[in-house]
């Protein structure tokens, strides 16, 4: 029969060991986590020349497995295509990142923003204005 104290000692060793290590627990929200670069949080529409880069090609709503993206294209004064409406329903989004992969003009990215809680369902539908990349 093995020594009954051995497992306890081993456990205590880990416990005491942690007392001298940097703590894993974050004192959220006072302390902020460091989000990895490739983290898939809230989407952002990239901006270039003060305009969203999105050309409303409809590839992201097509590839989206959760069907949470709504795009409506418009024609601007120079007859160019732009997204007159760009909405993502975050309640349906599964953050798979296919939309970013599908984008042919690199107009979409996923940010590290993960705090998406809200009080009303309709507030989870992010419009184009709220999705525009914040510099």
Partner 1 sequence: MVTLTIDDKQVAVEKDTTIYDAAKKAGIHIPILCHDKKLKPFGACRMCLVEVEQMKGRLIPACTTPVTEGMIVRTSTPPVDKARKLVLELLLVHHPLDCPVCDKGGDCELQNLAYDYKVNSNRLTDEKFHHEIDYNNPLIERDQNRCILCGKCVRICDEIVSRGALTFINRGIKTKIGTEFDGPLSCEFCGSCISVCPVGALLARPFKFKSRFWAMTNKKSVCGYCGTGCSVTLGVKDNKVLTTIYDENQGFHNGQLCVRGRFGYQFISSDKRLKTPLIRKNGTLVETDWDEALATVAEKLKLSASKSAAIATPRMTNEELQLLKQLMLQHVGTKNIDHSAGYAHEAVTEGLAKSIGVAASTATIPDIQKSDMILVLKSDVYETHPVVGFEINMAVKNKNVSLHLISDKRGKLSRLPGANLLLCKPGSEVTLLNSMVNVIMEEKKAALDTIPPDFVTALSAFTPAKVATECGVTADEIRTLALSYAAADKAVILLTTGLAYPGADAQLAHAASNLAILCDKLGKEGSGIIALQEKNNSQGAIDVGFVPAQGGANCHNILDGCVDGSITSLFIAGENPIVSYPAGDRIKKSLEAVDFLVVADLFLTETAQLADVVLPVSSYAEKEGTFTATDRRIQKITPVIPPVGKSLPEFQLYSKLIKLLGGQPALTPADAFSTISAYSSISYSELGEGGVFVKSEFKPTLIVPKTSNVNIEKGKFSLLTGAALYHCGTMSLHGEGTVAVCSVGYVEISRSDAEALKIADGTDVKLTSSSGAITLKARVSPRMAAGVLFTPYHFAANSVNTIWSGSIVTGVTITK
| Cβ distance to partner 1 smaller for residue 57 or 116 | 57
By beta-carbon proximity to partner 1, the closer residue of 81 and 109 is 81
Query: Is residue 48 within the footprint of partner 1 (CB under 8 A)?
Result: no
Residues 69-128 that bind partner 1 (CB under 8 A): 73-75, 79-81, 104-105
Dist CA 6 CA 10 (whole Å)? 6
Residue 26 C-beta: closest distance to partner 1, Å: 41
The DSSP-derived string for 49-93 is: TTEE-----SHHHHH-TT--EEEEEEE-TTS-EEEEEEEEETTT-
The residues near 50 (Cβ < 8 Å, ≥ 6 apart) are none
Range 50-79, binding partner 1 (CB under 8 A): 55-59, 61-62, 73-75, 79
Nearest-5° Cα angle at 63, 58 to 67: 90
Residues lying near partner 1 in the complex (CB under 8 A): 55-59, 61-62, 73-75, 79-81, 104-105
């Amino acid at each position: 029969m093995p020594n009954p104290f051995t497992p306890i000692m081993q456990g205590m060793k880990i416990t005491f060991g942690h007392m001298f290590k940097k703590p894993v627990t974050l004192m959220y929200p006072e302390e902020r986590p460091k989000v990895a670069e490739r983290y898939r949080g809230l989407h952002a529409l990239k901006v270039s020349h003060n305009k969203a880069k999105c050309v409303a090609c409809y590839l992201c709503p097509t590839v989206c497995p959760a069907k949470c993206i709504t795009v409506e294209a418009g024609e601007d004064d120079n007859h160019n295509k732009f997204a007159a409406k760009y909405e993502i329903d975050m309640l349906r989004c599964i953050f798979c990142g296919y939309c970013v992969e599908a984008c042919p003009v690199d107009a979409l990215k996923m940010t590290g923003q993960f705090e998406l809680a809200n009080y009303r369902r309709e507030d989870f539908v992010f419009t184009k204005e709220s999705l525009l990349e914040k510099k």
